[in-house]
A and B are shown apart, each in its own frame.
Chain A
Amino acid sequence: MEQAGSGEGKAEKDGPVHVLTASPSAVGPAWGRLVEKLADAGFTVHKLWEQADADTFFANDGDQIKAVVPGHEGVNGEMMDRLPNLEIIANFGVGYDAIDVNAAKDRGIRVTNTPDVLSDDVADLALALMLDVSRRLTLADRYVREGKWEEGNFPIQRKVSGKKVGILGLGRIGQAIASRASAFHMKVAYHGRHEKSGVPYEYHSSLVDLAKACDFLVIACPGGASTRHLVNKEVLEALGPKGCLVNIARGSVVVESELVKALAEGRLGSAGLDVFEDEPRVPEELRKMDNVVLQPHIGSATFETREDMADLVVRNLTAHFSGKELPTPVA
């Protein structure tokens, strides 16, 4: 347990903030800084991943917990029940599909996330994946490291500038991707539940039509039930043998088994994936493919942005426990 030294009176008012992380992907240097910032702001931090036994922890200390800061693994109703004095869930991330928001609302628990601060980084990674996959750049880097360049030139690949990109979900991240793609003279089109007014990009009411019309399909929509498995066999085949799928959103949006088959059979050209259905598990077949680039969910994983996200989490918690308006609530 970490106790803050000074806290300007907040430490007495606030209960401990429990930093939850059940999966290894949420434990790392970013959490170290988050924990420091929480302690500096006067919170008492409990790290679930350091407890010898989770059940014992909940039984003994569950009622002290007034706030939870989860990562990808989220918070379900069952955990909320084990924390009877829980007031707020401050998500470290913009996607909160792993949080049962309805269960939170039923219990009067507030939920916040970290939008905007990470949009640029995630969009940057989307472009990096488009360039990387189309030009087979990570493969080229491997080619050099394995000494193959001395045996012959790397095969030529496909140009990126000037091509057509379709964005599934033209939210903050989607728009950041669109403006970057435009600098590469790419034609941008999009699909979502509704057409957006005031954007200079072509709307497609059908995702299959968007996939058919584009060279790249970039998934930038939220996760959750409403987008589950939108990118299915039909969409992948519409994208086609020269098409490229980029996913920086959530693994749940894609039918992963169909994606793997389509890539293996050449019905889909290539893919750049930062997210998977069951992280950190990645289908074995993908690991061996040369026409994919695989990233371990690092869309927002830069030193600068993780600092900004941690600051925003602290601002949300501080606002809540000072009775002020929440900066970035989702519930």
Chain B
Amino acid sequence: MAKPDVLVLAKNIPLILDELPQFCTLHKLYEETDKDAFIAANKEKIQAIVTSYNVGAKADLISSLPNLKIICCFGVGVDAIDLGKAKELGIPVTNTPGVLTEDTADTALALLLTTLRKACAADRFVRSKSWSKNDFPLATSLSVGGKKAGIVGLGDIGKAVAKRIEAFGSTICYQGPREKPEVPYKYFPTVEALAKEVDFLVLTCPGGAATFHIVNRPVLDALGPNGFVINVARGSVVDEKELVQALVEKRIAGAGLDVFESEPKVPEELLSMDNVVLFPHIGSATIETRSNMARLMMDNLRAHFDGKPLLTQVQ
């Protein structure tokens, strides 16, 4: 039987170039100079799309492939995939939840610790030889323990973050669309109410329309001048202009950010601040997890072509 044709939209997904060709014929769209021409010439063949959390798949591409049967996403976030169009056409979408939970939680903790303790600024201080002349300015280096953490989105990643933060001696509150009776943490129905209560907001919710700009000016005002924002979710969750303004005007104490509204662009004002930590969207960027993600994605794709149930279909 001929190997099914798969359109690959994202590069640098580990393992797929070694393993997928064993049971698929790969078409790497990212290598084509004229992508539209390529699609026009090959659209009938394509049975599957392999993409990533940041490349996604838009409605017009999905619609243009008459024999598309599945979209497999490398990553858990599917906000860059037009799920509405996929559903309309009856095309299942799979992602890679679970395997990246720990890494993303680790990244959130790292942001919290390095932001409050100014670890990156301190490293710059030592490398610049300033230590030989002065003490490191510590007036705004703060303890992580004994504080209140507000988690926005208590899913798998949020729960993993909560467990870690508790070990550092802080208490957990959370907000989400529903209260979760199985957790021992205090629930707040709105992000603003949560922000008022806590010392730091940790964002671990999905991206997309439902969470667009839920961290806005009123939330930042409620968080206050001693509060921190830690974001490992999506840039879209935060009104970035308001966040930058709040930092510039010292209406919040600092921020640790792994995600931004227009990656890889990062607001200029943040680049010189010592009370922010900036990561280039590396939430799950480890060798171990990326290969686990790739494997899970390939297992979904394989299951589809073997007529077996998908492992992690997006509902």
Contacts and interface: CB of A to CB of B under 8 A. Distances in A.
> Are chains A and B native binding partners rather than an unrelated pairing?
yes
Contacts of A281: 132
B265 interface: yes
A138 B114 contact: yes
Interface stretch (A55-63, A121-129, A260-268, A309-317): A121-129
Contact of A303 (B124, B139, B164): B139
B141 A156 contact: no
A120 B145 contact: yes
B133 interface: yes
A128 B163 contact: no
B13 to A, nearest CB: 11
Contact of A144 (B135, B142, B279, B285): B279
A205 interface: no
Interface string B237-268: 00000000000000000000000000111100
A326 interface: no
A180 B287 CA distance: 23
A24 B125 CA distance: 14
Contacts of A182: 167
A34 B228 CA distance: 27
B138 A156 contact: no
A137 B114 contact: yes
Nearest to A25: B135
A24 B133 CA distance: 7
A121 B114 CA distance: 12
A184 B12 CA distance: 28
B138 to A, nearest CB: 4
Nearest to A161: B102
B12 A183 contact: no
Contacts of B236: none
A161 B103 contact: yes
A295 B272 CA distance: 19
Contacts of B15: none
A161 B105 contact: yes
A128 B286 contact: no
Contacts of A27: 135
A304 interface: yes
A185 B168 contact: no
B271 A145 contact: yes
A144 B111 CA distance: 14
Contacts of B8: none
Contacts of A125: 113, 117, 119
Interface stretch (A8-16, A89-97, A146-154): A146-154
Interface residues of B, number: 61
Contacts of A129: 119
Contact of A128 (B110, B136, B264, B278): B110
A135 B142 contact: no
A131 to B, nearest CB: 4
Chain A at the B interface: SS class? helix
B264 A149 contact: yes
A306 B290 CA distance: 41
A303 B271 contact: no
A296 B289 contact: no
Report, as a range, how many residues of chain A touch the other chain: 35 or more
A51 interface: no
A193 interface: no
Contacts of A287: 126-127, 129
A150 B114 contact: no
B20 interface: no
Given A24-B133, A302-B142, A303-B142, A160 B106 contact: yes
Contact of B120 (A26, A138, A304): A138
Contacts of B110: 128, 131-132, 135, 137
A132 B287 contact: no
A154 B285 contact: yes
Contacts of A200: none
Contact of A294 (B126, B133, B169): B126
Given A159-B102, A296-B131, A131 B109 contact: yes
B280 interface: yes
Given A128-B114, A131-B106, A183 B166 contact: yes
A306 B139 CA distance: 10
Interface in A290-310: 293-296, 298, 301-306
B278 A141 contact: yes
Given A124-B117, A280-B132, A293-B123, A301 B280 contact: no
B146 to A, nearest CB: 7
B142 to A, nearest CB: 5
A282 interface: yes
Interface string B269-283: 001100001111110
Contacts of B113: 124-125, 127-128, 131
Interface string A94-127: 0000000000000000000000000011001101
Contacts of B125: 296
19 contacts: A120-B145, A121-B145, A124-B143, A125-B113, A127-B109, A128-B110, A128-B117, A129-B119, A135-B107, A135-B282, A137-B277, A142-B124, A153-B280, A153-B281, A157-B286, A159-B106, A183-B166, A294-B122, A298-B138
Interface of A: 24-30, 120-121, 124-125, 127-129, 131-132, 135, 137-138, 140-145, 149-150, 153-154, 156-162, 179-180, 182-185, 279-282, 287, 293-296, 298, 301-306
Given A145-B271, A301-B141, 12 more contacts: A24-B133, A25-B135, A29-B138, A29-B139, A120-B169, A127-B113, A160-B106, A161-B102, A161-B106, A184-B106, A282-B131, A304-B143
6 shortest interchain CB distances as A-B pairs: A28-B135, A183-B167, A128-B113, A161-B102, A149-B264, A159-B286
